[in-house]
């Protein structure tokens, strides 16, 4: 670890100990550290186009799901849900942070169910979750194993309709209520941790757009030209950094004490509109 990272780690550790309202944004890097792939990386995009003759964007679109359902599920089962990812050690540290009472929300656009299986609570899943699948006709729910093990297109065992995956596809929109919840949480946070992504990420830009604090911390492995928009930057894997910034004897905040310490301010009401998803 270089000297600059070391100094920043000590500063971030001190800020976490003093904070009472933390919001954590989880990027694709946390999936990669859990053994997953970023299908939108240059290497994976090239591999997928060679194999399927389509880009990941095209194959993960609502139009492709509707028009070529057989090919959509071939891709979805092979590339998205082929295996069950195991939460990386970083999730244990996030669980410890949550148990201190300091975390208001976890916000993610990942959909691999890592947060729930790691025991995290108060999670906003902007792009849905692979574990939630449903028949659009009768509403019957199906788990990811049912979809994964189906031959060809998975269909409802009640009405024989094609099952709809529980994740957001390209061309669909996030309801404003979900985004408003995420934006409001970030706006009132006293510390934001951005993990495993960069400041150019659409989730990060949208969620932190109204944040006026000076404790926006970016922890990510790769450098990016937008790093300058974060107040503190640590370049390393999230798994390596979190044990250094989340102490074992982290002061705990009781729900009552936290409620008494929060300023009584009304949240700004947002217009009821939708936000187009861009990945």
In whole angstroms, what is the distance from residue 189 CA to residue 255 CA? 16
Percent of the chain with pLDDT over 70: 90
How far separated are the first and last CA of the chain, in Å rounded? 31
Q: What is the DSSP letter of 228?
A: G
- Concatenated DSSP letters of 72-113: HHHHIIIIISSS-PPPPTHHHHHHHHHHTT-EEEEEE---SS
CATH entry 3.40.50.1220 includes domain 3-36+87-130+172-276: yes
β partners of residue 216: 192
CA distances from 102 to 107, 138, 253 (A): 15, 41, 6
Other beta carbons less than 10 A from residue 121's beta carbon? 12
| pLDDT (0 to 100) of residue 174 | 87
| pLDDT (0 to 100) of residue 266 | 41
Domain spans, the chain: 3-36+87-130+172-276
Q: Which residues of the chain have pLDDT under 50?
A: 256, 263-279
Q: Which two tokens stand for residue 121?
A: 């609570």
In whole angstroms, what is the distance from residue 145 CA to residue 136 CA? 18
| pLDDT (0 to 100) of residue 260 | 55
Residue found by looking up tokens 């199906």 in the block? 142
Put simply, whether the predicted model's pTM sits higher than 0.85 gets the answer yes
Residue found by looking up tokens 């065992």 in the block? 157
Reported as a single tens digit per residue, the pLDDT across 113-147 is 999 999 999 999 999 999 999 999 999 999 999 99
CA angle in degrees (0–180, nearest 5) for 252-250-267: 55
Reported as a single tens digit per residue, the pLDDT across 184-220 is 999 999 999 999 999 999 999 999 999 999 999 999 9
The dihedral sign for the CA sequence 107, 270, 274, 134: positive
């Amino acid at each position: 670890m270089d000297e600059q990272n070391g100094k920043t780690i000590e500063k971030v550790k001190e800020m976490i100990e003093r904070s009472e309202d933390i919001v954590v944004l989880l990027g694709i890097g946390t999936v990669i550290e859990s053994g997953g792939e970023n299908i939108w990386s240059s290497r994976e995009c090239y591999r997928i186009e060679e194999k399927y003759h389509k880009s990941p964007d095209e194959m993960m679109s609502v139009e492709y799901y509707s028009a070529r359902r057989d090919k959509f599920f071939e891709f979805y089962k092979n590339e998205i849900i082929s295996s069950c990812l195991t939460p990386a050690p970083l999730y244990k540290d996030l669980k410890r942070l949550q148990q201190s009472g300091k975390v208001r929300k976890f916000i993610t656009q990942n959909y691999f169910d890592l947060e729930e299986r790691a025991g995290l609570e108060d999670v906003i899943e902007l792009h849905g979750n692979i574990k939630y699948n449903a028949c659009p006709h009768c509403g019957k729910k199906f788990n990811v194993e049912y979809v994964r093990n189906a031959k060809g297109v998975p269909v409802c065992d009640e009405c024989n309709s094609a099952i709809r995956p529980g994740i957001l596809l390209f061309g669909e929109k996030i309801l404003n209520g979900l985004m408003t919840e995420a934006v409001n949480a970030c706006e009132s946070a006293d510390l934001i941790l951005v993990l495993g992504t960069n400041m150019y990420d659409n989730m990060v830009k949208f969620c932190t757009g109204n944040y006026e604090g000076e404790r926006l911390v970016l922890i990510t492995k790769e450098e990016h030209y937008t790093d300058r928009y974060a107040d503190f930057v640590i370049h390393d894997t999230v798994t390596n950094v979190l044990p250094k910034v989340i102490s074992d004897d982290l002061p705990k905040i009781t729900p009552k004490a936290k409620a008494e310490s929060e300023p009584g301010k009304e949240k700004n009401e947002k217009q009821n509109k939708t936000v187009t998803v861009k990945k």
